[in-house]
Structure 1
Amino acid sequence: MTIKPLADRVVIKMVEAEETTKSGIILAGAAKEKPQVAEVVAVGPGGVVDGKEVKMYLKVGDKVLMSKYSGTEVKIDGNEYTILRQDDILAIVE
């Protein structure tokens, strides 16, 4: 099954959270922060949203930094994805 987002929405897959700190301490499950870096899986076509022209500047494969608790989490075929508006993406990570 594939996901095709509508309008200015983007489908992302979260990058795994770090298991250890830089100093080598192994983190327990509850101590890990929700990751904010994700990979773009699908991008909507853009167009007119709320009366304004929206140009999509993201592309599939981009690594992005997103707002911490934005979007809607969905599970499809055993994989977890987040669908959010392009406005909720803070930056592209290079």
Structure 2
Amino acid sequence: MVKLVNWRRATLTEQKLNITSILKRTSADIVIIPLSHSKLVEYIKSTDLDTMEPLIIRLEKKGKLTRELNKLKREGFEVKVVLPNLDN
């Protein structure tokens, strides 16, 4: 079972994307969803050190997507960006 952290504040856009299935299918360490101008949501795959259970952490950040991508790539993470369809 995967433990989810900070998922109560997920937006409707994130829920429509079915982010849990995207996270299961991808091998990336971090999945980023740009929600609006300079607002990002990061989903980070991790492991709980006490129980060794898989963990998915949701973080909201403000900043530029390219800057965040470059920073994470330099740190050695595999990153996937999911672009939502904002028309619906």
**TM-score normalised per structure 1:** 0.30
Q: Name which one, 1 or 2, has greater alpha-carbon Rg.
A: 1
Q: Identify the structure with the greater helix proportion.
A: 2
